[in-house]
Structure formats: structure tokens, C-alpha cells
Amino acid sequence: MFKDKTILLIISGGIAAYKSLELIRGLRKNNARVRCILTKGGSEFVTPMSVSALSEHEVYTDLWSLKDEREMGHIQLSREADLIIVAPASANLIAKMAHGLADDLASTTLLASDKPILLAPAMNHMMWNNPATQDNIKTLTHRNIALIGPVSGEMACGETGLGRMGEPDDILCAIQGFFYDRPLNGLKAIVTSGPTFEPIDPVRFIGNRSSGKQGHAIATALVRAGADVHYISGSTHLPPPSGATEIKVETAQEMLKAVEHTLPADIFIGTAAVCDWTIDQTSTHKIKKEGDPPQLILKETSDILKTVATHKDRPHLVIGFGAETENLKENATNKLKRKNCDWLVGNDVSETQNVFGQDENQVCLFKYTDDRKDITYEEWDRMSKTRVAQKLVDEIIMTFEQTNRDNIHDITDTKNIATQ
């Protein structure tokens, strides 16, 4: 997978450093040349010996080592890499990158680099959520530095939250995306993501459960494939997908408006958990708790997916999502027909599947055949949301390659007819 590619892996301080050993193993297994820089903090968690043994190369640790400077300076280390990965990326190294500090080999190499950089942050959830870290992340994503993770779960300190480093397999998946030859270059994609919130009054709302992780992963994979991605998202805790244009919305109505404003596009993917109903008359003041509970009158929201799929500027490929708690196959097939989309990603969100807010998903892909007479169905294994996104984007790439081939045939056929 990574033949002839050189990956520079920077391992900074954090308990997640042990996962980097597995990452090196995965990179080597896929034929990448791996060079490693181990920061002082990183070497508290993994030894230079194990990093060197797995990467089958010496490890770089010291900016001032004469030997390093003569034989492999930090400039050359960054120049010979096709991609730089920082995993784990500590809050400290992220802060140094955001502010252009260069006081050790890792930060100096990063500052001297003109290569794509992928960060896999890992830290305590409070450190991740701290506005200082969030501001630094925003600065870095605006500079087109890509992020994978962090994910949520239990941490080494015993607390639970968002801050765990992504799994090595997900990082490998993100790396794979980096080495595409931008197959979706020139195509515009719209991805809706997250929940919509429908206000009851200025402080209360009804909403859907959605972390936005699946839509975020899809937008990220599309950016890597070279598409011009417009990410229209309801309220989530995720940073904007690096390289995408993010439009933040709150209600279904705002989401529809943003989508219509962004059309035309080549691809539409509706991962958003759009509320099916909104409050008929939102109160302009906070409804008092005293007295009888308010009788909320609901009205249906517009179906964004259906609107796009029947629009005069209908994208070439319209993909819907369908969360079901029962009869997945039957309901998903009906939804595909009813909403006039081309593909529908169905997922079982019954309690047994434990999908909401998790980093894994188990989906089935329903597709209309080209003549739209039949529907095919493929069940995917349970896998990370990053892998689901990558697999879906790989399918999209194949579809557009096929369309291009067909178009070329059409032109050739027309020419043949013309010359007959």
C-alpha cells in the first residue's frame, strides 16, 4: 500500500505512545520506509530501542547531535518524507506548532517542513477541551494540517472523555487517503452532518441524538480524495474537518437553506440527523415552569435529502443515511425509493448495536443499479467510522471513474457515428 513512500513519524510524550509501535508495525507491513523522531517526553513511554527495532532504522532524538546534523539534519529529515505524522501529538507539541516554536528536533523539523502533516492528538479530555488547545487546533487546521481523532473513551488517568489517540488502523486508513492522486479533484461535494435543534423557546429545544462523527469522517475522506467539500453541520463538539468549508447551522430550515445555497454540486451526502418535526410556534420568551406543561404543536420539517434528490440542480450522486431500529433491509430499501437517492447507507441503531456517539459503525450499503430497476445490498463488517468513511469514498471514486470511462465511450461512439 505504501511502497516507495517515506513516512516520518514523530512520537511525542503520552501514554498513547505505545500505540505508535503498532502503527510502525502497520506501516512497515505495508512497505513504507519509516523514520522516527522520539521527543524527550516520548522516550519516557517507549524506548528508542523498540522504535528502532520496529522501524528497522535508527531513531532521531537530539537536535544538537553532531552526527545527526551531519548525516541527517532536521531539514533533510523533513525533505525526504512524503508525509509527517505526529502520533501521539501532545498538547505541548500542538501548542509549539501553532506558535512556531522550535526548541527540539521534533518542533524544528515540523517548522522546517513543507510536507503534508497529519496529527493524532492524545491527551486528557480537559486538556483537549481547554480553549487554548482548541484555539491551537483551529490555527493548525486553518493551515491545512490534518487531524485524525482524538476519539472518546476511557483514559489512562481513569477519566472518560474526548482525548484518546485514534487507533493505529484508523491512522493507517487516513494515511492511505493521503497518497491518493486526488481522484475527486474538480468535484464539489456537500456533506450534512450532526443533529438539528428545533427551538421551543430561547433556552429549550428538541433535537436528535448525533455526534456528527460519521459525517465528519466522510467529509475528511472526501477532502483527502481531492473534492471541494462543503460541510454543513448542526451543533457538535468536533472541530471543522481540515480542508473543508464549514457552514454551521442549528435548525432543519437553516440546514436546508445552506444546502440549497451551496448547490449545484456533484455529490450530496446526507449524514445529518435532521429533526423530522419542528415547533409550530416558537415562544420568544422562556416558557414559565409554573402551571400546566405547554402543549407543543409540531409541524413537519422539509426533507432535505428528498429536496436535493428531486432538485433541478440534482447532484450526480445523492447518498442518504437511514438509521433504523428494526427491519433495516425493508425500511432502507423503501427510503431509497421514497427519497429518490442513488445510494442509502443503512445502519441499525437499536440498543444492541451501540452506535450513537461511538467510534464504530455497522452499516449496509443499498444501491440502485444503473438502470434503476433493481436495488443491490451489501453488508459491511462492523468497523471504525473512519474506515466506513474511507470505504464509502472508495466506492464514490470508483463510480466517478466508471462515469468518466462511460463518458469517454459516449464521445468515441458519437464520433464513430459521425464519421460513418
Q: Which residues have a catalytic role annotated?
A: 157
Q: How far is the CB of 215 from ligand C5P (least distance, A)?
A: 9
DSSP string, 361-398: E-EEEEEE-TTSS-EEEEEPPPEEHHHHHHHHHHHHHH
320: contact with ligand C5P by CB under 6 A: yes
43 neighbors 61 (Cβ within 8 angstroms) = yes
Q: Which is nearer to ligand C5P, 167 or 303 (CB)?
A: 303
Tracing cell 506501516 back to the chain, one arrives at: 27
303: contact with ligand C5P by CB under 6 A: yes
* Residues in contact with ligand C5P, shown as a per-residue x/- string from 161 to 200 under the rule CB under 6 A: -------------------------------x--------
How far, CA to CA in Å, does 334 sit from each of 124, 304, 375, 392? 44, 17, 10, 21
Q: How far is the CB of 259 from ligand C5P (least distance, A)?
A: 8
274: contact with ligand C5P by CB under 6 A: yes
276: contact with ligand C5P by CB under 6 A: yes
Other beta carbons less than 10 A from residue 168's beta carbon: 19
346: contact with ligand C5P by CB under 6 A: no
Binder to ligand C5P among 272, 336, 365, 392 (CB under 6 A)?
A: 272
CA distance 296 to 292: 12
Binder to ligand C5P among 60, 321, 366, 400 (CB under 6 A)?
A: 321
**Sign, CA torsion 225/354/152/277:** positive
270: contact with ligand C5P by CB under 6 A: yes
Pick the piece of the chain touching ligand C5P (CB under 6 A) from 37-45, 64-72, 146-154, 267-275.
267-275
Binder to ligand C5P among 118, 137, 140, 305 (CB under 6 A)?
A: 305
Contact partners, residue 241, CB within 8 Å, separation at least 6 = 216, 219, 220, 223, 229, 231
Tracing cell 513543507 back to the chain, one arrives at: 114
Taken as a whole, the chain contains a residue count of 420
Tracing cell 457515428 back to the chain, one arrives at: 417
252: contact with ligand C5P by CB under 6 A: yes
Q: Which is nearer to ligand C5P, 17 or 272 (CB)?
A: 272
301: contact with ligand C5P by CB under 6 A: yes
Distance spanning both ends of the chain, measured CA to CA: 46
384: contact with ligand C5P by CB under 6 A: no
Binder to ligand C5P among 17, 172, 221, 304 (CB under 6 A)?
A: 304
Contact partners, residue 112, CB within 8 Å, separation at least 6 = 74, 75, 78, 102
Q: How far is the CB of 50 from ligand C5P (least distance, A)?
A: 45
Q: Which is nearer to ligand C5P, 173 or 328 (CB)?
A: 328
Binding site for ligand C5P (CB under 6 A): 192, 252, 270, 272, 274, 276, 301, 303-305, 320-322, 335
